[in-house]
Each structure stands twice: as C-alpha cells, then as structure tokens.
Chain A
Amino acid sequence: GQQLNQSPQSMFIQEGEDVSMNCTSSSIFNTWLWYKQDPGEGPVLLIALYKAGELTSNGRLTAQFGITRKDSFLNISASIPSDVGIYFCAGRRGGSNYKLTFGKGTLLTVNP
C-alpha cells in the first residue's frame, strides 16, 4: 500500500529554536497536508499545499510542496512550548484515489 516516510520520528529542542521535518513518497501526490495533534485531541490542519513548488506560511509555520511532487517539508521558527505535539504529513494522489495517506508522525518536545 501507499506509504509516506516522515522524519524525524521525534525531536527534542529548546524553546526559540527552529524545527524542520519532512515527508517523502515513492509516488506522486497532488496534495500535501500538514496536521498537528495535541495530546488527547484529534489532528488539526495546519497547512494545505496543492501545487508543486508551492510555499505556504501560517504564522511561524512554513511548508513547501516539493518540485518532484514526492516530498514536502514543514518548518517551525522560534519554537514555543505550545508547539509540543505530534505533527503528521498527509498526501493525496489524484484521479479516483480518494484516500489521504498519513506519515507516521513527528513527536516534537520543546523544553522551556
């Protein structure tokens, strides 16, 4: 089945540091999404990307849709304690394939 490789699996950083995580796939996607899951909650959409090369920001978050359409990255600048959580990438292929495939998540811990 379709798989997304998300890395790193976990990160421990100090408050104020910048963070970068990425997802790669062996197949082409036409949509990349980044979600954050807080403890005890459901995933919440952070950024949606629909076009190869697209670079989109949401506050301190920036994500890019890779040119090859097989990868995406998410950057968080000047991290704060409330950035703690699990970040998931998700991709959807085009055509009749409606499934949204998720990466395995990146657990982010921010030390104040």
Chain B
Amino acid sequence: DTAVSQTPKYLVTQMGNDKSIKCEQNLGHDTMYWYKQDSKKFLKIMFSYNNKELIINETVPNRFSPKSPDKAHLNLHINSLELGDSAVYFCASSQDLGTGRSGNTIYFGEGSWLTVV
C-alpha cells in the first residue's frame, strides 16, 4: 500500500491552463506538505497544512492554491500555468508539525512531473 500517493505522475500542459495535482496519505498523519523540486534538484517547501489548517505559505504565487478537504488529503491547484512552473511537485506528510520525534519524519510521495509548454 502506498503511504503517500499523488496523481497524476506526469502532466504536460500548455501555458495559461489550469491544472490540479491530488494527494492522499493513509498514514493517519496530521500534517501534509507540498514541495517543489526544480531542474537542479533543489527541494523547497511550498505549503504546510496541519489538520486542514494552513501553517506555512512559503511566498508562493497566489496562482498556486492548496486545498485540504480533510487531513488525509492536500490537493494543489495551479492557475494560469507559466513555463517556470515546470518542475516536480512532491506531496509529503508527517505525524505532526515536528514537535516530537515522530513528527520530524516526513514521508514523500513519488512526485508529479509537471511540464508546461
């Protein structure tokens, strides 16, 4: 069973389109994240949600709108896609915000490869 699953794995779309990436975790974790990995493989946090509440918004353009319908899901919607949005987007989860040891372990999904043409 996949602990953190995200769909789609690959997405090719034209500039200006709107797209969504879905994420689900079956670990019973309270905290979920979206990370972006650029072409140089640098991993940077975008958003963090704890129990459906936004905790971290790392100065991401407002074209990116995360939505957490429940604590097991954190979807990412992107409006008006730009060429620079091409990257791999990773969903992740942890037990909590990291106050305890278990919360410091972050589990990643397999990534969604977004290509904007």
Contacts and interface: CB of A to CB of B under 8 A. Distances in A.
Interface of A: 31, 33, 35, 37, 40-45, 48, 50, 86, 88, 90, 92, 98-100, 102, 104-105, 107
A42 B104 CA distance: 17
Given A41-B111, A45-B106, A92-B104, A98 B48 contact: yes
Contacts of A31: 98, 104
Contacts of B110: 40-42
A29 to B, nearest CB: 11
A105 B37 CA distance: 11
Contacts of A107: 41
A42 B98 contact: no
B45 interface: yes
Given A33-B105, A40-B111, A45-B105, 4 more contacts: A31-B104, A42-B111, A43-B108, A100-B104
Contacts of B109: 42
A44 B108 contact: yes
Nearest to A38: B110
Contact of A105 (B41, B97, B101, B105): B41
Contact of A100 (B40, B98, B111): B98
B101 A48 contact: yes
A42 B109 CA distance: 6
Contact of B45 (A41, A45, A100): A100
25 contacts: A31-B98, A42-B90, A42-B108, A42-B109, A43-B43, A43-B108, A44-B108, A45-B107, A48-B101, A48-B105, A86-B41, A90-B106, A98-B48, A98-B55, A99-B56, A99-B58, A100-B45, A100-B98, A100-B104, A102-B42, A102-B43, A104-B40, A105-B41, A105-B42, A107-B41
